């Protein structure tokens, strides 16, 4: 009786985990796809091969196969760009994304790196609403709780939300600000016709330009806050990420170390949600 020869088992890597054998040619194919995504535009064969670090003669068969299965398409000038299958895969991935789930991966890391409390907020039916709070390891009095609805005038989280709302939505949202924590009367920031008063409109413009805002001692006296936007694949505000700490416990400058960590975390979540320019450009500053 003929016995079968067992298949060879994969070798252990140095860290003790078993490596899995891939298909080397697909690794080259992946390099071409990564190069195209990095370029962010349609590319001819020569440029695409160069960016992927391989000869054009080697790249061409891969590109032909990618075109056949629909991952790539080719225009009349011979430039390669993502095809219909790429679009379908991208949409399928985006449909599975949850902004809060994606942001959760950054919350504990950011809290540990900064030593500060971290909050996540979304625009809910009543306004900017805290949906996640990671307390700092340092003793500090932060009165925010999950479910707290924040002013769009007097808090950094709320102003970041306001800065990225469509004008028609913002007018309606400001009309309810008085009921929120640290809320303001609508006529303090908007005229009777709904147009924003100059100081408030300028503050929102600066927030969009800097991709961050700060609140010093508000809404809680002695607690400082930095807040940054997180965008989705459509360039819309998905949520706001904020760090909070006691006065004097961290650098509140918009280009300080804490702000850089916050901006990097918000940018990382935006990237996972599929955010593209110009939202990502604004976050890089």
pLDDT on residue 12: 45
CA–CA separation, 28 and 20 (whole Å):
17
- Tell the residue number behind the tokens 């806050």, with chain if given: 225
pLDDT on residue 183: 87
Cβ burial 116-129 (10 Å sphere, 16+ → b, else e): bbbbbbbbeeebbb
pLDDT on residue 285: 47
pLDDT on residue 259: 96
Pairing of the two strands 223-231 and 237-246: antiparallel
Which parts of the chain register pLDDT below 50?
Answer: 1-19, 22, 94, 278, 283-285
pLDDT on residue 240: 96
Write a three-state SS string for 141-209: CCCCCCCCEECCCCCHHHHHHHHCCCHHHHHHHHCCHHHCECCCCHHHCECCCCCECHHHHHHHHHHHH
* Closest CA relative to residue 263, chosen from 205, 212, 207: 212
CA–CA separation, 158 and 121 (whole Å):
9
State CA 194 to chain mean position distance: 31
**270 touches 283 (CB < 8 A):** yes
* Alpha-carbon torsion, ordered 256, 261, 262, 263, to 10 deg: 80
């Amino acid at each position: 009786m003929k016995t079968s020869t067992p298949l060879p088992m994969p070798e252990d890597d140095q860290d003790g985990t078993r490596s899995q054998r891939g298909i080397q040619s697909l690794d080259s194919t992946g390099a071409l796809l990564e190069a195209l995504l990095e370029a962010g535009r349609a590319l001819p064969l020569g440029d695409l091969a160069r960016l992927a670090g391989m000869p054009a003669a080697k790249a061409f068969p891969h590109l032909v196969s990618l075109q056949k299965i629909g991952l790539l398409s080719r225009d009349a000038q011979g430039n390669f760009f993502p095809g219909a299958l790429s679009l379908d895969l991208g949409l399928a991935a985006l449909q599975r994304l949850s902004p809060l789930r994606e942001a959760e991966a950054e919350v504990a890391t950011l809290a540990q790196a900064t030593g500060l409390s971290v909050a996540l907020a979304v625009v809910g039916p009543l306004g900017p609403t805290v949906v996640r709070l990671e307390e700092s390891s340092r003793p500090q009095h932060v009165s925010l709780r999950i479910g707290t609805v924040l002013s769009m005038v007097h808090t950094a989280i709320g102003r970041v939300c306001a800065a990225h709302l469509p004008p028609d939505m913002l007018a309606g949202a400001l009309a309810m600000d008085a009921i929120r924590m640290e809320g303001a009367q609508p006529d303090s920031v908007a005229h009777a016709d709904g147009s924003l008063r100059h100081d408030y409109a300028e503050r929102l413009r600066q927030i969009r330009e800097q991709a961050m805002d700060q609140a010093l001692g508000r809404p809680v006296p002695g607690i400082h806050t930095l807040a940054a936007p997180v965008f989705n694949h459509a360039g819309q505000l998905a949520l706001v990420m904020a760090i909070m700490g006691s006065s004097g416990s961290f650098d509140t400058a918009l280009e300080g170390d804490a702000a850089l960590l916050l901006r990097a975390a918000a940018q990382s979540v935006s990237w996972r949600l599929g955010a593209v320019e110009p939202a990502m450009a604004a976050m890089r500053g």
